[in-house]
Chains A and B, each alone.
Chain A
């Protein structure tokens, strides 16, 4: 090995603490990149493989009742390669050992052939056989959550008839990777399951012999989705079709997409932050290091080494640190990527995991990491290498301090000389001070941007569950009922109050824009479920018009006062023009509301109800559950307490670990910047500080000079960091605005304080470490070195 390379290796060894601090920051950026991309690509591959093998459909539609003879007509639509008609409905489940009623989505399986589309992957047992009334196959997660084995039984109410069924098999389906029941926010595997039963059995139960109420399509390559959807809608219109939708709107796929998008965002946004900081750290450390090595650089040039050779030597130093960081990042990234992918696999109930390793991820992350290190080094190197050898080898000209305006101002306060030294140093190198502050600020901003999610979730829950949905449960009816049915509901044991909701599928059109949603008819007297605007905190009444959620209004490009065309699907040819009377901000889904009376007037019917919001008397809740399990008219129940509980539980589960990790990352950045800054200053000013000690200044006073400057920079950095963090949070909120849910921009004081605490603690720790060095300075040895 060449002598110069030996010097390189030994220099890295000498500077191990600083090198490690920088490498750690670099490694984090690389690790997150490798982990997120690795996980994301693996999940995408897994999902795509599952979809492909199990023939996940492209288009779905529901209808009230359509004859099976319609199927060839659908198959003939241009762009359709396969059609599968089936029966689908919701049912209340009565499971032994479960106090509350559970819900299930019941789907039919063809009796004579294998399913053509959305094929369930058999995990145990077998599919139900034709004609066997009591046989059911359930999704594996539901079975596991309820500790079901093959042969176990439970009761299900199909179309008003309660019957016992036996589990003959379990399966996983590409349609239900993310399984959320109607009205729920999170998957609740024990209380919502998928039930497959033989087609003839369900046809008999629902009076759908020779008919279907749900259809799935697979498209040919290059088919136009909108055209097919339009054609399908036309075909199903006479039969109460509710508007076809594609994969983008399919609940499970949509949520899965959302998760993958989160990973994507994490992979794209977070690593660059860490890499930029690393570049900055390398620049700072190397820059000042090289300045300290002036003489050696002059010497090397005197000995005959060219500018390029000398520059390359120091760039290699940076690359050495970069290589350590990249290596660490790869190692941790690979390990955590695997773990994370496995966690996701279990969370999403994929039947298998395709773990993908693209060499490109490693190459790109290495390139990014090394570039950060080299870019950081080049500026520093260039500055010194241009000096002539004689100039480089002579001591640098003493720093020129000037008395300026700032001086006059400061002098008013009559600071001590030591304080004067601090302030002059900051004033002499304002750019360096600013960059150091900015580096520390990044640490605080990372904390804020990552932790505000919890505040947002709290606000979300508060608004959704306290302001909007104040009922304890929602009962869904199998069929539309007259309002008088509310009396029956009120008479159920434990029901303190019952209010009705009338949900109708509609297509809204405004100019060229159109969207299919469900409009909810409410009565103005309702107190349990209200139209509430999260941004203004006010209740909004539809009066004679239509209230839209903000995102839906955006899709339609409609404002208050605009007139929107409302086409009532499933109601024959009923289309009316309605004015938009309100736009509200809400966090879940797309919403549209009208007064029940207005709806009735438009449709020329007395208002009906499709669901009932109820307030429950805790003391009688069991009795209510029993009654619901046996009530034929009720096809679904959503217990909002459960929803809230499972949401809180999920968030809480992750909160601890997320907080810890984020705090560590933020602390690492802060320590990286503060520690390196302090160490370098110590090297640069060793002689000056030693002189002071010899003059009689105490260790504490001398430490003050060095650390006081860093304290000031940290204090400036903190509010800056909080501000940047808020900006980042706003960016994240904008990124996650989707039809499924959106997050409010809410940051509590506690979050800000936590960010401040982490940064301050990290700064203090670094300062203490450096302080030890100051205390142990060998005064005599330092003074002997040439100025």
Chain B
């Protein structure tokens, strides 16, 4: 079912990204046009080096594009200065990374508080951790937790600010299948309960079955966009 433009959260026109290191030029994105819609869980699928992380970084305001334009609603991301991008990330975006990126010297609760302290309308850190099922581990340090638990803390941290968008770069990449499923379940639940637009990058094809929309990447561009008629619960996903 085609969506109309005022449900559109992200859209891009001709995004290119070139990395230059001395004599070598790497074309990570070659003129990408994409649309992402509210409340959808989208999976970006492709081999490593296909450009998915690069696109996610641009959409999240973590990096700039070499050419083309990108919009979040009616904010032109590619025209914004660093200071405005910071505000954008602060107010609208939650991130989840492959290697969790928790601050090792803060407890789970404090890691989440790190974000709520700078947010306009956050939920309490305790509530965020409850949503990911970690209310009993709030005062532990990352070093005292398993990989799955750390990733869930990262998710709690990402959603605590009630972002409109949740961007996840290989959230299960460092986890075994069981814990990976737990993480995916958390993401799915949040997308359903809070209506957060969620984008998940993965190279694991099986995960695409839980998405509303799947975007296939290859060689720096989108090769195909598919809508899933039916979605599979994360617990059913085969690794």
Query: Which A residues are closer than 8 A to B by beta carbons?
Result: 2-4, 6-7, 10-11, 14, 295-296, 298-307, 309, 388-391, 393, 397, 400, 786
Contact = CB atoms under 8 A, between A and B. Distances in A.
B212 interface: no
A393 B101 contact: yes
Given A299-B101, A303-B89, A307-B82, A389 B111 contact: no
Contact of B118 (A10, A304, A397): A304
Top 5 A-B residue pairs of the complex, sorted by shortest distance between their CB atoms: A304-B90, A390-B63, A390-B62, A10-B105, A3-B114
A373 to B, nearest CB: 21
A6 B108 CA distance: 13
A496 B33 CA distance: 113
A388 B62 CA distance: 6
B99 A2 contact: no
Most buried by A among B95, B103, B106, B110: B103
B171 interface: no
Contacts of A6: 105-106, 110
A11 B104 CA distance: 10
Given A299-B101, A388-B62, A304 B91 contact: yes
A296 B82 CA distance: 18
Contacts of A302: 60, 62, 89, 95
A299 B62 CA distance: 10
A302 to B, nearest CB: 5
B86 A304 contact: yes
Contacts of A14: 105
B63 A3 contact: no
Contact of B86 (A301, A390, A393): A301
12 contacts: A3-B111, A3-B117, A6-B106, A7-B114, A14-B105, A301-B89, A302-B62, A303-B95, A303-B115, A305-B86, A306-B83, A389-B62
Contacts of B71: none
Nearest to A310: B86
Contacts of A786: 99
A336 B113 CA distance: 45
Contact of B110 (A3, A299, A303, A391): A3
A393 B60 CA distance: 14
A389 B58 CA distance: 11
Given A3-B117, A303-B115, A307-B86, A388 B64 contact: yes
A296 B106 CA distance: 12
Interface string B117-152: 111000000000000000000000000000000000
A14 B141 CA distance: 14
Given A303-B95, A400-B22, 9 more contacts: A2-B117, A3-B111, A3-B113, A298-B62, A300-B114, A302-B62, A303-B118, A389-B63, A389-B89
Contact of A306 (B86, B101, B117): B86
Interface residues of B, number: 32
Contact of A303 (B22, B90, B99, B105): B90
A397 B60 CA distance: 22
B84 to A, nearest CB: 11
Interface string B55-74: 00100101110000000000
Contacts of B83: 306-307
Contacts of A10: 105-106
Interface of A is mostly: helix
Nearest to B89: A304
A2 B111 CA distance: 11
B63 A296 contact: no
Most buried by B among A2, A14, A303, A400: A303
A47 B39 CA distance: 83
A294 to B, nearest CB: 11
Most buried by A among B57, B62, B82, B115: B62
Contact of A393 (B97, B106, B118): B97
B82 A7 contact: no
A663 to B, nearest CB: 37
B106 A397 contact: no
A390 B93 CA distance: 14
Contacts of B22: 400
B114 A4 contact: yes
Contacts of A309: 118
A306 B84 CA distance: 10
Contacts of B95: 302-303
Given A304-B91, A304-B115, A295 B106 contact: no
A161 B127 CA distance: 105
B178 interface: no
B52 to A, nearest CB: 13
A4 B103 CA distance: 10
A322 to B, nearest CB: 20
Contacts of B230: none
A295 B101 CA distance: 8
Nearest to B92: A304
Contacts of B161: 304
Given A295-B101, A388-B63, A390-B62, A305 B118 contact: yes
Nearest to B99: A786
B108 to A, nearest CB: 11
Contacts of B60: 302
Contacts of B90: 303-305
A391 B117 contact: no
A303 B21 contact: no
A302 B119 CA distance: 13
A746 B114 CA distance: 61
Contacts of A4: 114, 117
Interface in B1-57: 21-22, 57
A663 B121 CA distance: 59
Contacts of B110: 3, 6-7
A306 B22 CA distance: 30
A303 B119 CA distance: 10
Contacts of A307: 82-83, 86
Nearest to A309: B118
B63 A391 contact: yes
A306 B119 CA distance: 13
A403 B86 CA distance: 41
A305 B63 CA distance: 15
A3 B119 CA distance: 13
Nearest to B110: A3
Nearest to B157: A303
A546 to B, nearest CB: 76
Contacts of A299: 97, 101, 103
A41 to B, nearest CB: 44
A300 B157 CA distance: 12
A10 B99 CA distance: 22
Nearest to B100: A299
A467 to B, nearest CB: 68
B145 to A, nearest CB: 15
A140 B86 CA distance: 76
A117 to B, nearest CB: 70
A4 B117 CA distance: 9
A545 to B, nearest CB: 77
Contact of A397 (B21, B86, B105): B21
A468 to B, nearest CB: 69
Nearest to B63: A390
Nearest to A295: B101
Contact of B106 (A3, A304, A305, A306): A3
B82 A390 contact: no
A388 B86 CA distance: 10
B109 to A, nearest CB: 9
Contacts of B86: 301, 304-307
Contacts of B118: 303-305, 309
A21 B207 CA distance: 52
B57 to A, nearest CB: 4
Nearest to B90: A304
B105 A7 contact: yes
A437 to B, nearest CB: 30
A160 B207 CA distance: 119
B162 to A, nearest CB: 13
Contact of B105 (A11, A304, A391): A11
